[in-house]
A and B are shown apart, each in its own frame.
Chain A
Amino acid sequence: MASFLAVLALAGGVFWLEAPGLIRRKRKRELAVFVVFLLAATALYGALALEVKLPNPFMIIKLVYGGGA
């Protein structure tokens, strides 16, 4: 749980670091993409911190080229 909170704190820190500049420069598109990526990253990292079992990305390659896992 502590590591999950650390991930949330990290995500907040990153938002605080990047978002104000983007808002000031009126970069709406950039801000939207940034938020989507940050949310995805936080969800993944949070799942890792909570020890949720995630699919192995290399399995995509194994599925396509290895003729099934």
Chain B
Amino acid sequence: MKGKADVKISVRQFTILVILGVIGDSILILPTITATSAKQDAWLSMLLAMLLGMGAGWLFASIADRLRGESPVTAMQARLGAWAGGAAGLLLLFNFFMCVLTLLSEMSQFMTTQLMPETPVNAILIVFLAVVIVAYRYGLEAFARMSELLFPVFALLLVFLVVFLIPQVKIENLQPIGRTGFFSIWEGALPSFAAGFAEMVVLLMLVPHVAAKGKLRRPILTGFAVGGAMMLAVVLLCVTVLGPSLMETKYYPTFVLAQKITVGDFLERLEAIMAFLWIITVFNKVLLLYYGLTTGLSQLLKLREDRMLTIPLGMILLVCTVIGTPNITVYNEIIVNDYPWFDMTFGLALPALLLALLLVKRSRKMSGE
């Protein structure tokens, strides 16, 4: 078995993991959230979120380039000492944990309301988590390669969706532009920014394994820009094809979007494509967060292996997802009102502190040499 430090992924694989992570669960839930407050200006919200996201990308890249092959968890412990550093690392892991819960909740809600209404949630979660655990146990290299393999499929399906919806675009749906006012647009942008970009703080866990000679600023910013542009395209299509009122009332507008496709009366109801797209991106993001959680935990506790943690953690995640989602209304209320602020604290304030720490204090290990 290879040592953990030898696990390497290419810059290209890293970029793809970031792109798929940014799209993650956003592709299915964000159109509703942005349209609820910004109506026909949902796409402006997304644009604003993307601009803010590039700022977050810049922050993460600044940290990544200063970590020099260290994981954020070990870096904090090396600089703050075992206790304070450990507490900071634990906060980061808590963020990953809650993020996985939201993704699993959304995935199970989507499956039970749209695709498999008779199947119990537990069964769906068990199968999904089993795949995540197996993927983790194969290692980072294996799932980075898998994402590389899935990405062209994903991009092709997305292009397919866009091309076949273009005939149904109604530009009138965008008008009047900017009528809802800046505050509504801002209100829509905040959760989009939090769910799409601030949660990607998990990419720092991958940084020690990227085989890059130069800086990581470019791959991170490219990943954020491409992922953000894809999200913008999806939200724009939702507004122009469905219109803001349908976007707001349907829980999964992107899914309805795919149902709208008709090609010459023989290619109809292609929502399975949408489901496939979404499962690729959600699986990828869950895997990233689960990787961050498990690896981070083993680094925090200074363990030499982490495979034995995978199944117990999976069980804990399953139970917390089931009790965390008593019904869709309670869940959505928390997600829209309180969750973005949680994401901001742990996805922006905590990394900002880490960056300050990296700038001010050198690692004890390094200064001791």
B308 at the interface (CB under 8 A from A): yes
Distance of B341 from chain A, by nearest CB (Å): 4
A37–B334 touching, CB < 8 Å = no
Chain A residues closer than 8 Å to B304, beta-carbon distance = 27, 29-30
A41–B308 touching, CB < 8 Å = no
A57–B311 touching, CB < 8 Å = no
Rounded to whole angstroms, the CA-CA distance of A34 and B334 in the bound complex is: 32
Distance of B208 from chain A, by nearest CB (Å): 21
B246 at the interface (CB under 8 A from A): no
B323 at the interface (CB under 8 A from A): yes
Chain A residues closer than 8 Å to B320, beta-carbon distance = 44, 57
B119 at the interface (CB under 8 A from A): no
B303–A29 touching, CB < 8 Å = yes
On chain B, which size bracket covers the interface? 20 to 34
Distance of B194 from chain A, by nearest CB (Å): 12
B309–A66 touching, CB < 8 Å = no
A65–B341 touching, CB < 8 Å = yes
Number of interface residues of A (CB under 8 A): 31
Chain B binding surface SS class:
helix
Chain B residues closer than 8 Å to A31, beta-carbon distance = 308
Distance of A49 from chain B, by nearest CB (Å): 9
Rounded to whole angstroms, the CA-CA distance of A57 and B319 in the bound complex is: 10
Distance of B134 from chain A, by nearest CB (Å): 13
B229 at the interface (CB under 8 A from A): no
> Which single residue of chain A is at the shortest CB-CB distance from B306?
A30
Partner of A33, one of B309, B316, B334, B341: B309
A58–B308 touching, CB < 8 Å = no
What sequence of 0s and 1s flags, for each residue 33-69 of chain A, a beta carbon within 8 Å of any chain B beta carbon? 1100110111011011000001111100110111000
Q: Which residues of B contact A (CB under 8 A)?
A: 98, 101, 301-305, 307-309, 311-313, 315-316, 318-320, 322-324, 326, 330-331, 334, 337-339, 341-342
Closest 5 CB pairs of A and B: A41-B315, A37-B312, A65-B338, A41-B312, A18-B308
Q: Which residues of A contact B (CB under 8 A)?
A: 10, 14, 17-19, 22, 27, 29-31, 33-34, 37-38, 40-42, 44-45, 47-48, 54-58, 61-62, 64-66
